[in-house]
Amino acid sequence: MIMLNKLRNNYKTNIIKEKYRHLFVIIESIHNNIVPASLEMLGEARRLMDHFNLTYNSNEKVIAILLGDGIKDLSQELIFYGADAVIYADDPNLKYPINKIYTKVISQIATDSNSLEEISPEYVSEFKKPRYMFFLADSIGRHLSATVLAELDSGLASDINKLVISNLEIKHQHKTNGKAISYQKILEMYRPDFSGFLWTTILCLDNKNPEIEKEFHPQACSIIPGAFQPIIKDTRRTGTIVEYKPKFDQDDLKIKVLKQELTKNPFQFENYKVIISFGRGIKENPQDNIKLIEKLAKFLDAQIGISLPISKKIFQLNEKYDSLYITPNRVIGTSGIRVTPKIYIAVGISGAIQHLEGMKESDFIIAINPDENSPIKDVCDIFIKGRMEDVIPILLEELDKQLGQIKEEKEIKVNTYGKL
Ligand SMILES: Cc1cc2nc3c(=O)[nH]c(=O)nc-3n(C[C@H](O)[C@H](O)[C@H](O)COP(=O)(O)OP(=O)(O)OC[C@H]3O[C@@H](n4cnc5c(N)ncnc54)[C@H](O)[C@@H]3O)c2cc1C
């Protein structure tokens, strides 16, 4: 009983004191379809907030924010995929994700307690801003997350692929004036760095040092597509759907998108059964190594991909190789394209998560790499430990032999049948 009263009292004081509530998930849509990775974020938001509400005896919501033109009908789908509520703004001016306009409307929604009247009346009177906010780490979300968080005057962690909410004791020279202070409900945001060899944990903490006191909310991040799983769609789930009427100035509407076209990748990776990608491991002799990879690709009728750093022109190559291979259209991964060939050969690629997301669904993965500790080893079916300069010539020689044998066998068969 004492325990229960204590919980109730805590609950009451929570209601009075906390200005930051709920987890806002910024949903992306294209041609009025939800971008699938948005549902992954929603799934993780659901898991985190279920745990949060249990742990802190509260009733905070997962709120999906949806902007566009003719998108209202997608709201129900977001409830089925884990949102408690959806706040949508359906307006012709939101047809395209123009950063300036989207930043303005998302920031308006994030600071407007009126929209929460129906969603969570118990917290409305104190509400100031969201507690947490998620964006997608894609070309739209990366930009948008930065400008929205600047507008909301808080911090942002980019390209996150693991999240935990916990209480932490922090001692920091500036933030806490050197004292150990307990922080509640902190979003620990993890990102892979140094090609996935190291994890960085990013925290967005209030300054509790009286000299520089300042609150930093929402705690926000952009999330790498593919990092989380959506929850299974449940059409029995119910939730609240609220329309938000955005306010624009004439100045906001100066930028106009006249036409939007989805461009096709010129390398048509989808038409190849084998894809060979190369990465920074070509470094010892870039041009000769690309020639070797080209030969192997010719043998296997394969298309050639690259890792992201290669596209940044980090090696000096002659004009032919530079224009043929060093292009963003060949990048495999979250910043490029996703491929699912029968065979994927990763040559001189370490296997950073952003690269793996683009190729891990391939049927059979082979890696050529001298470093057994490279993360690519964990996802490949065959790991050939060695330098590409040594391994590829052996492979070519063996393929040549095998091809010769096949030809010979065919000829013998033809002769034998000829005799009969
Ligand atoms: C926001 C963001 C988005 C990103 N998006 C992408 C993306 O879409 N795609 C992508 O690829 N990366 C992406 N990255 C970069 C990613 O994190 C890695 O830095 C990158 O994938 C590493 O490229 P790499 O494997 O070519 O190079 P490295 O990590 O340097 O690996 C080189 C590998 O070559 C091996 N090697 C060395 N010598 C040889 C040799 N002689 N023969 C064979 N192997 C050798 C080494 O052992 C090593 O494993 C992104 C990063 C960020 C922050």
Q: Which two tokens stand for residue 349?
A: 């690629």
Closest among 298, 304, 296 to 397, alpha carbons compared:
296
- 30-58 pLDDT, tens per residue? 989 999 999 999 999 999 999 999 999 99
Query: To the nearest 10°, the Cα dihedral for 370, 371, 375, 377?
Result: 50
State if residue 349 touches ligand 1 by the CB under 6 angstroms criterion.
yes
Q: Which two tokens stand for residue 185?
A: 């409900």
What pLDDT score was predicted for residue 83? 98
Helix axes 388-419, 286-300, angle to 10 degrees: 20
State if residue 337 touches ligand 1 by the CB under 6 angstroms criterion.
no
Sign of the torsion formed by the C-alpha atoms of 183, 201, 159 and 356: negative
The reply to whether 17-254 and 269-411 are identical in fold is yes
State if residue 141 touches ligand 1 by the CB under 6 angstroms criterion.
no
My answer on whether omega of the bond before 92 falls inside 30° of 0, hence cis, is no
State if residue 354 touches ligand 1 by the CB under 6 angstroms criterion.
yes
- Alpha-carbon distance of 212 to 214, in angstroms, equals 6
43 near 231, Cβ under 8 Å? Answer: yes
Residues in the chain: 420
- Alpha-carbon distance of 289 to 242, in angstroms, equals 57
* Ligand 1 centre distance from Cα of residue 378 (Å): 15
Q: Which helix (H) or strand (E) holds 12?
A: helix 2-17
- 196-218 pLDDT, tens per residue? 667 899 999 999 999 999 999 99
State if residue 348 touches ligand 1 by the CB under 6 angstroms criterion.
yes
State if residue 331 touches ligand 1 by the CB under 6 angstroms criterion.
yes
- How many other C-beta atoms can be found within 10 angstroms of the C-beta atom of residue 98? 17
Residue 354's beta-bridge partner residues? Answer: none
* Ligand 1 centre distance from Cα of residue 239 (Å): 43
What pLDDT score was predicted for residue 185? 97
Identify the residue whose C-alpha is closest to ligand 1 atom 39.
281
- The dihedrals phi and psi of 46, each to the nearest 5 degrees, come to -60, -50
My answer on whether omega of the bond before 218 falls inside 30° of 0, hence cis, is yes
What pLDDT score was predicted for residue 194? 73
Q: How far is CA 283 from CA 1, 290, 347, 396, in A?
A: 69, 10, 12, 21
Average pLDDT of span 397-419: 74
Average pLDDT of span 251-273: 89
Average pLDDT of span 344-368: 95
CATH 3.20.20.105 fits 269-411, yes or no: no
User: How many CA atoms lie less than 13 Å away from 8 in the CB half-sphere?
Assistant: 5
Please give the model's pTM, rounded to 2 decimal places.
0.79
Q: Which helix (H) or strand (E) holds 344?
A: strand 343-347
> Which of 307, 372, 392 is the best mutation target for the ligand 1 pocket, counting ligand atoms within 8 Å of the beta carbon and taking the most?
307
- Alpha-carbon distance of 61 to 120, in angstroms, equals 8
Q: Is the pLDDT of residue 84 over 70?
A: yes
- 139-171 pLDDT, tens per residue? 899 999 999 999 999 999 999 989 999 999 999
Q: Relative to the CA of 137, which ligand 1 atom is closest?
A: 1
State if residue 97 touches ligand 1 by the CB under 6 angstroms criterion.
no
314 near 294, Cβ under 8 Å? Answer: no
3-state SS assignment for residue 377: helix
Residue 33's beta-bridge partner residues? Answer: 30
- Alpha-carbon distance of 94 to 257, in angstroms, equals 10
Query: What CATH superfamily classification does 17-254 receive?
Result: HUPs (3.40.50.620)
State if residue 390 touches ligand 1 by the CB under 6 angstroms criterion.
no
What ranges do the domains of the chain cover?
17-254, 269-411
H-helix segments, 261-387 = 286-300, 308-311, 319-325, 353-359
